[in-house]
Amino acid sequence: MLRLKALSLALAVAGLVLSGCGSSNSSSSNSSASSSSSTSAASAPSTSSSKATLSPIHLSLIADMDFPPAGVSLATARPDLAAEAAIKAVNAAGGVHGHPLVLSVCDSKGNGNVANSCARAAVANNTVADIGGFNFAGTPVEIMNAGKLAMIGRTPGFNPKEYSFPTIFPYFGVGETGMSAAVYAAAKFEHATKIALITSPPANALYFPTGEAMAKSLGVTITGTISAMPGSDLTSAVLKARQNGTQAIAAITPIVDQVIVAARQNGITLPIVSSLQPAQIKSVGSAGEGVDSIEPYQLPTAPDPGLEQMEKEFNQYAPGIPQTVFTLPGWLAVHMFADVADKLSVVNRANVLAAFQKLTNQYAYDLIPPYTTSVPFKGLGGLFPSLYNPSLYLQQVKNGALVQLNGGAPFNPFAG
């Protein structure tokens, strides 16, 4: 359990790299670091206003958007543009009680010192909430937690205690739940009773025990635990995976595209359940046909009202935005903030944090299931209490693109 705890949060951000949804179109806009100015609390006016003309409500977004060593760049990660699109829509509709939303963006580019500096600025300048960020270095979450700043839609980083902070409200935790969910999907949707696990170091120390625990709870058998080493010939790994009567492979690894190609080249036609980035779907070509992918968000092109609203706002305010797991939290966090803040008589940091700590079935615009924070997550040994949304969506590669399965409904591997 200690070893699991040591690795678990390192995989929280790694989960971003493991997973991606939607299109991979890029935008040429640039982001820059900035800090917001101090503002007073926003009170509800006595009459409604069709325009946001009162004092602004300041939000912050701190993320390593342009950090190629972690596989992240402005071609794939634009939570700032997503958030700005949502802000323009909210402000056009009158803001929050007539107060416009204003966003301060910090692209820390993998520099922990920059991320920490931006977090301190957000706290010192009385920013009301932080939205949609992620960082691979530094301790911005600790800093904002100490400042009692609600971090809405933020993906926790490397510090194991971040999932216990009462100020963080992540939208997904595929880095922690990935193998458990893959085993669940293989058993429930592919009807496999014998499943092989494939991952890469150091994730095997987390994924093998959590995958085996899920299998035990479902009454299915793990036929093998195989490490796929980056940069190596994967033939022996995939051949081992099909031994002992294996009926499906659960493969959660950053090199899953290579695993898929190796499996198909060696005549292995077993169902494979994984989590694929758009670039990986493209790179595997025809070998990826029929591969299942567990994703933290609903397919953005699904015909749901919230997703249609998102597409409309992107088309109007951020055309060509990369709709990936790095980007979408920015959009959802702004709208969720606005919806929650709109119910407050006074919009300030303390009231927003208190409101987010007590959400029950909060509308999440069909990107994720209704969001509840009043009940902590108790799966995976209770190590991640603020992983409020353990649900995922099952999708499958068809003709080089993801399509939804399970009728587009989410599934919760830990629902019992």
Quote the strand ranges of 73-140, DSSP E. Answer: 101-107, 129-131
CA 356 to CA 169: how far, in whole Å?
8
End-to-end CA gap in the chain: 21
Cβ(203)–Cβ(254) below 8 Å: no
More confident residue, 3 or 121: 121
Rounded Cα–Cα distance for residues 157 and 176 (Å)? 12
Percentage of residues in the chain with pLDDT exceeding 70?
87
Question: Looking at residue 15, what is its pLDDT?
Answer: 52
- pLDDT for 382 beyond 90: no
pLDDT digits (tens, 9 = 90+) for 86-104: 999 999 999 999 999 999 9
pLDDT digits (tens, 9 = 90+) for 24-35: 443 333 334 443
Split at pLDDT 50, 70, 90, the class of 46 is very low
- Give, for 144, the enclosing helix (H) or strand (E): helix 140-146
What pTM does this model have?
0.86
Burial tier of 40 (Cβ tally within 10 Å: 0-12, 13-18, 19+): exposed
- Within 8 A by CB and 6+ apart from 164, the residues are 385, 386
- φ, ψ of residue 63 in degrees (nearest 5): -155, 150
**Distance (Å, whole) CA 398 – CA 413:** 24
pLDDT at residue 159 in the model: 65
pLDDT tens by residue, 189-235: 999 999 999 999 887 777 899 999 999 999 999 999 999 999 899 99
At 113-143, the pLDDT tens digits run: 999 999 999 999 989 999 999 998 999 999 9
pLDDT confidence of residue 144: 97
Give residue 31's pLDDT.
39
Alpha-carbon distance 58 to 37, whole Å? 8
| pLDDT for residue 329 is more than 70 | yes
The pair of structure tokens assigned to 21 is 């949804």
pLDDT reported for residue 77: 92
* Residues contacting residue 10 through CB under 8 Å, at least 6 positions apart: 158, 202
Render pLDDT for 224-256 as a digit per residue (tens, 0 to 9): 999 999 989 999 999 999 999 999 999 999 899
Give the pLDDT band (50/70/90) at residue 69.
confident
